[in-house]
Amino acid sequence: MKKLSLLIFSLFAIGSISACNPEDTDDITDTTEQTEQTDDTQDTTDQNNDTAEKIEYNDGTYTGYGDPWDYGYETADITIENGDITQVVLHRWRNDDTEVDYDNWTGAEIDGKLYPNLKQYRLDMASEIIDQQSLEGVDYIAGATITTENWILAVQDALNKALK
């Protein structure tokens, strides 16, 4: 009886597994070929993006805003001259609309609390944006993730306002 039960169970398992296997292997080949064609198209698109024209901006000074959060909000003042980003000033504001004192945000511990080095982060991030002439490759900074994320949002907002 055990052998018969084992045989029936084995046949059922084999039948279940084979039912999951597609009968027509040509469909699999076609899908693979379509995927390869899509990959080729993507490569061409990437090549075209490398030769894409530079984004054009109107000259002037533009202010962009990051998202408000528990401790305030961030802004960015962007200056465009001859279509190039020439100045980026990043700000961190408290909820009472006063700018933080960056001398208190130097990566030091004050009154038992460690403050991230916003004083240096804002200068480094601004320089990187000017050097890149875009936000491409500009990353958030660990230890000040929300602030640096909002600075990136603020810069993007300002650049969107400057678009031709």
Answer yes or no: is pLDDT of 15 > 70: no
Answer yes or no: is pLDDT of 21 > 60: no
Stretch (H or E) spanning 9: helix 2-20
Domains in the chain, start-ordered, CATH in brackets? Answer: 60-162 (3.90.1010.20)
What secondary structure does DSSP assign to 89-158, as a single string? EEEEE-TTS-B--GGG-SS-EETTEEPP-HHHHHHHHHHHHHHHTSSTT----TTSHHHHHHHHHHHHHH
pLDDT of residue 137: 87
User: What CA–CA distance (Å, rounded) separates 16 from 109?
Assistant: 64
Q: Percent of the chain, pLDDT > 90?
A: 52
Nearest by Cα to 95 from 119, 74, 121: 74
- How many CB atoms lie under 10 A from the CB of residue 103? 8
pLDDT of residue 29: 37
pLDDT tens column, 128-154: 999 999 999 898 888 899 999 999 999
User: What CA–CA distance (Å, rounded) separates 133 from 127?
Assistant: 10
Average pLDDT over residues 88-117: 91
pLDDT of residue 45: 40
Q: Which of 15-24, 31-40, 87-96 has the lowest mean pLDDT?
A: 31-40
**Phi, psi angle pair for 65, to nearest 5°:** -125, 140
Tokens encoding 58 = 């109107």
Q: Percent of the chain, pLDDT > 70?
A: 68
Model-wide pTM > 0.95: no
Average pLDDT over residues 76-90: 98
Cβ burial of 11 (10 Å; 0-12, 13-18, 19+) is exposed
Q: What value does the mean pLDDT of the chain take?
A: 78
pLDDT tens column, 28-79: 333 333 333 434 434 434 444 444 567 899 999 999 999 999 999 999 999 9
